Amino acid sequence: MAKKTVYLTKEGYEELKKELDDLINIKRPANIKAIKEARALGDLSENADYDAARNEQAELEGRIQKLEQILENVSIIENVDNGKVSIGNTVKIKYVDDGEEDEYQIVGSQEADPFASKISNESPIAQALLNKSVGDIVDVVSPNGVYQIEITEIA
């Protein structure tokens, strides 16, 4: 199975590296200590502290594995100013049907946060915008139907 490239901004990459470092060097040793302390209490069959520590260990190891996989397949987004929309750009758009305007930064799926106006490069709007220029009117195919947007600015 081919590994999927994960697109991250430099900031997003640094955040994930920091999280991985924290998990490996701080949380994992603290969890190992908690397991040892719970094990020292005796009977493991009815030891809630031991069960909780083992569950936490599973979550930690799962997150560490996921972060390592992401960081192995990362492609850092470079802001390229060629007049075309690409991953990493902030794009101002106007909805053709009602004239409403929005601004989105196109990021990789790991960094997508609609509440912060960061949309995934895999989203319908981003797919419609990629490689287009200011002034272009594009069709966005969404689960709710097709609508048109105009690109008013690329930063």
In the chain, where the domains are located: 6-76, 90-154
Q: What is residue 2's predicted lDDT score, i.e. its pLDDT?
A: 60
CA pair distance 55, 33, nearest whole angstrom: 14
Residue 78: pLDDT over 90 = no
Q: CATH code for 6-76? A: 1.10.287.180
Whole-angstrom distance, CA of residue 108 vs CA of residue 141 = 19
**Stretch 43-55: mean pLDDT, rounded?**
85
**Do 155 and 136 contact (CB within 8 A), yes or no?**
no
Measured in whole angstroms, how far is the alpha carbon of residue 130 from the centre of its chain?
Answer: 18
Q: Smallest Cα–Cα separation from 74: which of 89, 60, 84, 87?
A: 87
- pTM of the shown model: 0.76
- Structural fold of domain 90-154: Chitinase A; domain 3 (3.10.50)
AA letter at 93: I
Tell me: pLDDT of 1 over 60: no
Q: Which residue has the higher pLDDT, 93 or 47?
A: 93
Average pLDDT over all residues of the chain: 92
Asked whether residue 49 carries a pLDDT value surpassing 90, the answer given is no
Tokens of 150: 């105009």
